[in-house]
Structure 1
Amino acid sequence: MANSLWDTKDISYQGCASQVLFLISFFDAEYSLITIMACDRYVAICKPLHYGTLLGSRACAQMAAAAWGSGFLHGVLNMANTFSLPLCQGNAVDQFFCEIPQILKLSGSDSDYHREHAVIGFSLCVFFCCFVFILLSYVQIFRAVFRMPSEHGRHKASSTCLPHLDVVSLFLSTIMFAHLKPTSISSQSLDLVVSFLYSVVPPTVNPLIYSMRNQELKDTVRKLSENFPYE
C-alpha cells in the first residue's frame, strides 16, 4: 500500500523479509483457525452434550494461541530459510509483493534451493493433513445431519456449517490454483491476477460471508434500505 501511495516499486531487503514473514504467519494461522472451526462444528453437531467440556473457554484460548504461535513459527522458518539463499539472478521480483516462489527464481544455489523445497514439502504435508481433518469432520457432520428427525434441526445445523464451508472453499481453491496450476499456463500477468485472488479476495470476503448470516445485521441492513430516500 505504501508503494502504491508513493508511486514506487522499490522495497528494502528487510521489508521484503518482513512481508514473507507476515504473509506466511497470517495464512498459516488462518488455515489453523479454519481447521479448529471444523472441529468446533463437529463437536457442536455430533457431540452437543460434551461441547462445554471439550470446547470450553480455556480450550478455545489454547487452540487460538496454538494457531497463532504455530503460524508465527512457520513464518519464521520459511523467512529464515528463504532469505539465507544467495540472490544470484538480480533483485527484481516479478510480483506486487515478496512471494517465496518469485524469490526462489532469483537464487542460483542448487543445494539451498533443494533445502527450501524440503521446507515447502513439509508445509504441504501439514496443509494436506489439515485438509483431511476438515474433510473427515464434515463427513461425520453430514452423516449426523442426515440422521436428524427434525427438519428445523437439519436447517439449523446446515446454516451453522455453510458459512464455514464457503470460507474453506474460497481459501483452498484460490491457494491451490495459485500454487498447483500447470506451468504451461503460467505467465507474469496470470501470476499477478492469481496472487491478488488468494492474498486479497479471501480476507475481504470472509467478514461478509460470516456477517450476512447474522440475523441482527440482516435486520439492520433491511431497516437502512427501507429508510433510504429514493428519488
Structure 2
Amino acid sequence: MTPSGNQSGRMTEFVLAGFPNLNGTQVELFSMFLLVYLLTLTGNTLIVGVVGANNRLQTPMYFFLGNLSCLEILITSVIVPKMLSNFLWRKHTISFAACITQFYFYFFLGASEFLLLAVMSVDRYLAICHPLRYPLLMSRAVCIRLALACWMGGVLPVLGPTVAVALLPFCKQSAVVQHFFCDSGPLLHLACTNTRILEETDFILASLVIISSLMITATSYVHIILAVLHIPSTSGRQKAFSTCTSHLMVVTLFYGSATFLYVRPSQSSFVDTNWAVTVVTTFVTPLLNPLIYALRNEQVKEALKDMFRKVVAEVLGNILLADCTHKKTVR
C-alpha cells in the first residue's frame, strides 16, 4: 500500500496524548507520578550503592540485583521525565528524533531486563541444585560476561525494528500518539502504509525474547522446586525458597504485563488499553523491585542499616570537626 494523500513531507514531531479522561486531575497525577519516580530512583540507587559498597553482598545474586536496579533506573528515566513535563505544559509535543530514541531505549532496556531475569533464575537454580559447583560455575568472570551479554542482548534485536519505524511514512494530520510515550502499537497505528509485516516481525522478536526467557525461568524454577522438596528439614526448605521468592514475585509482575502488551500479532489494534498496562511496567514494577528485595532479604536490610550508620557517623564526624575548627579559629 502506498502512502495516502494525508502525508506531506517528513514527520518532524508527534503529539503525546497522555492519559485519557483526566478531567482536571493533572496536578494530582503529576504529584503522584513524581513521588513514585523519586521513590523508584531512591530505592534502586540505594540497592546499587549497598551492593557495591558491602563486602557481604559481593555474590552473584546481588551482583545481578545491582544490574537489575540499574536497568530499572534507566528504563524509568527514558519515559517518566518527558511524561511529567507534559503535565505542566499545554503543548505535549515530542520531536521525531526524541520519539524514535525513546522507542529504541525503552525496548532495548526492556529486552535486556528479560534476559537478566532469566540469568537470575539460572543463578538461583545453580545455587540450590549444584551448591558444591556453584562457586566455579558462577565465578566473578562468568557473572560479568553474563551481565554484559544481557545488556548487549537487547541492542541488536531492537535496532532493526527501530530503523524500520523511523523510515515509515506518517500522516501529518494524524500525528497524535495515543499514549504517554512513543510505544510500538500507537506509532504503527499512525503510519500511512500497511504495517502488517512490521507488526508480525515485532511479534516474533517480542515472542522470542519474552517467551524464551520465560521458558528458561520456568524450567529453572521447576528444577528448584523439585530439589527443594527433597530437602529433609523444614527449615532447609524454607531457607532455600526464601532466596527465590523475591525474584519470583518480580518475574510474575514483569512477565505478566509485558506478555499482555507485546506478545500479540497486532499491537496497533490495542492502543486504547496499552497505557493502563504500561503503568505497571513503567511505575509499579520498578518501584516494587527494591522494596521486594530489601524487605524480604535480611542481608540487604542489614547492609542498608550498616550503610546508614556509616553515613550518619561520617556526617556527625564532619560536623564535630567543623565545630572544633571553628572554635579554634575564634580563640
TM range, smaller chain: 0.7 to 0.9
**C-alpha displacement of 1:177:** 2.9
**What corresponds to 1:120 in structure 2?**
203
Moved more, 147-156 or 75-84: 75-84
**What corresponds to 2:181 in structure 1?**
97
Query: Which residue identity is paired with 2:231?
Result: M
Q: 2:151 aligns with which of 30, 48, 68?
A: 68
Q: Using the alignment, how far apart are the partners of 1:203 and 1:131 within structure 2?
A: 19
**What corresponds to 2:104 in structure 1?**
21
Q: Is the 8 A contact 1:25 1:75 kept in 2?
A: yes
Matched, 1:163 2:246: yes
Change (3 A) 1:56 1:132: same
Q: Is the 8 A contact 1:20 1:98 kept in 2?
A: yes
Q: Using the alignment, how far apart are the partners of 2:117 and 2:299 within structure 1?
A: 24
Query: Which residue identity is paired with 1:208?
Result: L
**C-alpha displacement of 1:78:** 2.5
Output the TM-score relative to the length of structure 2.
0.61
**C-alpha displacement of 1:174:** 1.5
Change (3 A) 1:162 1:3: closer
Q: Is the 8 A contact 1:82 1:116 kept in 2?
A: no
Map 1:143-182 to 2 at 5 A.
143-179=226-262
Moved more, 70-79 or 160-169: 70-79
Q: For each residue in 1:10-48, what CA deviation from the matched residue of structure 2 results, as whole angstroms up to 9, or x when unmatched?
A: 000010011111100111111111000000000000011
**What corresponds to 1:229 in structure 2?**
none
**What corresponds to 1:133 in structure 2?**
216
**What corresponds to 1:47 in structure 2?**
130
**What corresponds to 1:227 in structure 2?**
none
**What corresponds to 1:208 in structure 2?**
291
Secondary structure in 2 matching 1:11: strand
**C-alpha displacement of 1:214:** 2.7
Matched, 1:85 2:176: no
Query: Which residue identity is paired with 2:296?
Result: R
Larger Rg: 2
Q: 2:192 aligns with which of 108, 129, 133?
A: 108
Query: Which residue identity is paired with 1:120?
Result: F
Q: Is the 8 A contact 1:82 1:104 kept in 2?
A: yes
Q: Using the alignment, how far apart are the partners of 2:185 and 2:219 within structure 1?
A: 31
Query: Which residue identity is paired with 2:250?
Result: V
Q: Using the alignment, how far apart are the partners of 1:58 and 1:28 within structure 2?
A: 23
Output the TM-score relative to the length of structure 1.
0.85
**What corresponds to 2:114 in structure 1?**
31
Q: Using the alignment, how far apart are the partners of 1:139 and 1:129 within structure 2?
A: 15
The runs of 5 or more residues in structure 1 that have no matched partner are 225-231
Map 1:3-18 to 2 at 5 A.
4-5=84-85, 6-7=88-89, 8-18=91-101
**What corresponds to 2:53 in structure 1?**
none
Secondary structure in 1 matching 2:245: helix
Q: Is the 8 A contact 1:46 1:141 kept in 2?
A: yes
Q: Is the 8 A contact 2:185 2:271 kept in 1?
A: no
Q: Using the alignment, how far apart are the partners of 1:216 and 1:148 within structure 2?
A: 23
Change (3 A) 1:170 1:40: same
Moved more, 85-94 or 37-46: 85-94
Which of 1 and 2 has higher RCO (CA within 8 Å, sep 6+)? 2
Instruction: Give the superposed CA RMSD.
Output: 2.5
Q: For each residue in 1:91-113, what CA deviation from the matched residue of structure 2 results, as whole angstroms up to 9, or x when unmatched?
A: 21000000011101011322x54
Q: Is the 8 A contact 1:163 1:209 kept in 2?
A: yes
Change (3 A) 1:62 1:85: same
Q: Percent same amino acid at aligned positions? A: 31
Q: Using the alignment, how far apart are the partners of 1:205 and 1:122 within structure 2?
A: 27
Secondary structure in 1 matching 2:132: helix
The number of residue pairs the alignment matches comes to: 219
**C-alpha displacement of 1:84:** 1.9
